[in-house]
Chain A
């Protein structure tokens, strides 16, 4: 049995040049659409590289990296989670590549008639925000404080996509999510602009990990992300320039 486990564990590929081997990218869930698009472009330019992207909550990914998950690139939705990785001496000099702001997501057609943050204090409303432990929740807390709104959440969601899903299902009247998340679900979710949102911008840092099995390809991926082309893909998805 142990032999089988060792075999399975040893399956991750080896390789170390810009045009070969495996490239493993760990990215925040909110980057899913952008990175999928960039991955297409990357594969065209580097057909020899086996690019694998794993999406998840930034905090979970940061923990995975500190626990020794083999990866080349880490793109986080907030500086705090990147700090966990740099603090452990596993990456140096992260670069900020985008910013994201919060917006109010409502089910299509906005049945509860929400026009701004002040509405989130309405008692009859069913409201979802992210848990304060995750980046979107920390940002939501800050934004509500800046706006001086006493919101009454009914649930603290474990990540931003969980909050968004509840809007998509029509089970909550509103949720505070990233502007990019609303842009990713144009069919089921509408966004309500929040003028105060600019006061709380989440910065997205990216870094090549020190123990990257494939540093050359990792660098090439980060360069693509920081290039004009990467910026354009990010902007189209609703991200701010850093």
Chain B
């Protein structure tokens, strides 16, 4: 441990320490101001458990959906030599820079009752997406998936392509190579991307409240509950934020130990 620290060059140490302070002090501020005596009351308050459960469920579903669509997309971005891939890469990261509220409006224009796809879904199947839990998952996926795509693409680019070439010369088909060679090779990158994606989805606010609305039990996730509590009872909002933070930190630490192992961390 000592040898490790002594290797950090001095010019990096000070900015690194400032960086830690910058990121952690607001958290400390939150913890200092938390009315701990109210914790029990707030947790027992109707709707809090519901909001927390909905948050965890929708963030997990959004991550699953992102993995399903995002990993193949990352592969295309990293490996395809087709023209226009760099433009495609820039386009799929648009949700990163788009204000989430605008993202929510954009989702309306596509999947809303009057939207391009949504009006067809409504006419043909009687399905309306806005103001449902499905809308929460869609909004979170829209905002969070680019994080996964970027991580996985980076891992794919860093991975040694010669393993894939060898697999091919040994007679493995492309799909087998992807499944048996590429995917295990970039597994830590996929896991890291999934964690980022999950965390972003868990904290999602703007696109969710716009596209999915806010209704206890179906679309009111923790960030929405925190925001509205802030209007009425700021102390309750602080307690709710700390609960969300604790649950997400615990989940991420647990997953890191189980999935990534110590070496990857």
User: Which A residues are within 8 Å of any B CB, using their own CB?
Assistant: 1, 57, 59-60, 63, 126, 128, 131, 133-134, 153-158, 162, 165-166, 169-171
Task: Give the number of chain B interface residues (Cβ < 8 Å).
Answer: 26
Q: Which of B141-149, B194-202, B208-216 contacts A (4 or more CB under 8 A)?
A: B208-216
Answer whether A171 and B112 are a contact pair too, CB < 8 Å, given A133-B232, A162-B210: yes
A170 to B231 Cα, complex, angstroms: 28
- B residues in contact with A156, CB < 8 Å: 213-215, 220, 228
- B residues in contact with A63, CB < 8 Å: 230, 234
Residue pair B215, A153 in contact (C-beta under 8 Å): yes
Cβ distance A62 to chain B, nearest Cβ, rounded Å: 9
Q: Chain A: which residue is nearest B215 at the CB level?
A: A155
A134 to B228 Cα, complex, angstroms: 8
Answer whether A158 and B214 are a contact pair too, CB < 8 Å, given A59-B231, A133-B232: yes
Residue pair B209, A154 in contact (C-beta under 8 Å): no
In chain B, positions 124-164 with a C-beta closer than 8 Å to chain A are: 128, 130-131
In chain B, positions 222-265 with a C-beta closer than 8 Å to chain A are: 224, 227-232, 234
A194 to B106 Cα, complex, angstroms: 32
Residue pair B228, A169 in contact (C-beta under 8 Å): no
Cβ distance B6 to chain A, nearest Cβ, rounded Å: 26
Residue pair B214, A155 in contact (C-beta under 8 Å): yes
Q: Chain B: which residue is nearest A128 at the CB level?
A: B213
A156 to B225 Cα, complex, angstroms: 11
Residue pair A133, B228 in contact (C-beta under 8 Å): yes
- A residues in contact with B230, CB < 8 Å: 63
Most buried by B among A57, A153, A158, A165: A158
**Chain A interface secondary structure, helix, strand, loop or mixed?**
loop
A155 to B139 Cα, complex, angstroms: 16
Answer whether A155 and B219 are a contact pair too, CB < 8 Å, given A126-B131, A128-B213, A133-B231: yes
B114 in contact (CB, < 8 A): yes
- B residues in contact with A128, CB < 8 Å: 213
Residue pair A170, B114 in contact (C-beta under 8 Å): yes
Question: Can you list 25 contacts pairing A with B, beta carbon distance less than 8 Å?
Answer: A59-B231, A131-B214, A131-B228, A131-B231, A133-B231, A133-B232, A154-B131, A154-B213, A154-B215, A155-B213, A155-B215, A155-B219, A156-B213, A156-B214, A158-B209, A158-B224, A158-B227, A162-B209, A162-B210, A169-B108, A169-B109, A170-B112, A170-B114, A171-B114, A171-B130
- B residues in contact with A60, CB < 8 Å: 231
- A residues in contact with B219, CB < 8 Å: 155
A60 to B237 Cα, complex, angstroms: 13
B73 in contact (CB, < 8 A): no
- A residues in contact with B224, CB < 8 Å: 158
Cβ distance A189 to chain B, nearest Cβ, rounded Å: 14
A185 to B228 Cα, complex, angstroms: 26
B89 in contact (CB, < 8 A): no
Additional A-B contact list (12), CB under 8 Å, known A63-B230, A126-B130 = A59-B231, A153-B215, A155-B131, A155-B215, A155-B219, A156-B220, A158-B224, A158-B228, A169-B105, A169-B112, A171-B108, A171-B130
- A residues in contact with B228, CB < 8 Å: 131, 133, 156, 158
A162 to B234 Cα, complex, angstroms: 22
Residue pair A171, B113 in contact (C-beta under 8 Å): yes
Residue pair B114, A169 in contact (C-beta under 8 Å): yes
- B residues in contact with A162, CB < 8 Å: 209-210
A242 to B234 Cα, complex, angstroms: 31
Most buried by A among B18, B105, B228: B228
A166 to B229 Cα, complex, angstroms: 22
